[in-house]
Amino acid sequence: MQQTGPDAGMITWVYCKDLEEAARFYDDVLELPLWRDAGAARIYLAGEQALIGVCREFENRRANPEGGMITLLREDVDGWYSRLQAKGATLHGAPEKIEQFGIYSFFCEDPNGYVIEVQKFL
């Protein structure tokens, strides 16, 4: 991952009780490239300067999926939907056009209940 300065890019962290179960989802279902394995946490490449960190719960960092969402920008939304459906992902309906925002997307969730949207701008 190319960085342009000390504040380039981002990591969105999600916490889990079972790191192996969560990692299987990000590895095998979403097929995101593993950028770094830090033992108690794994960091996946979600885009050019965007990372998703999956970490075991510790201290005050607990799985808390309410009110947040990860959006993966992808051109082949239908292909992603078919692939995730075939892999048994928890899906929240088929892809649909949302005119209000000028997007085409669908939603799924990881094993800890974090909502993940796969979308493209129209």
pLDDT tops 70 at residue 91: yes
Q: What is the pTM of this model?
A: 0.85
Model pLDDT, residue 10: 85
Domain count along the chain = 1
CA distance 81 to 102: 19
Residue 4 located in a structural domain: no
Q: CATH number, domain at 79? A: 3.10.180.10
Distance CA 122, CA 101 (A): 9
Spatial distance between the Cα atoms of 69 and 115, rounded to a whole number of angstroms:
5
Of 50, 66, 72, residue with least CA distance to 15: 66
In a domain, 5, yes or no: no
In the predicted model, what is the mean pLDDT of the chain?
A: 90
In terms of residue numbers, what domain contains 108? 10-121
Query: Residue 72 is encoded by which pair of tokens?
Result: 């993966």
Classify residue 38: in a domain, yes or no: yes
- For tokens 């279902």, what's the residue? 29
Confidence of residue 2 (pLDDT cuts 50, 70, 90): low
Place of tokens 């950028």: 35
pLDDT of residue 13: 92
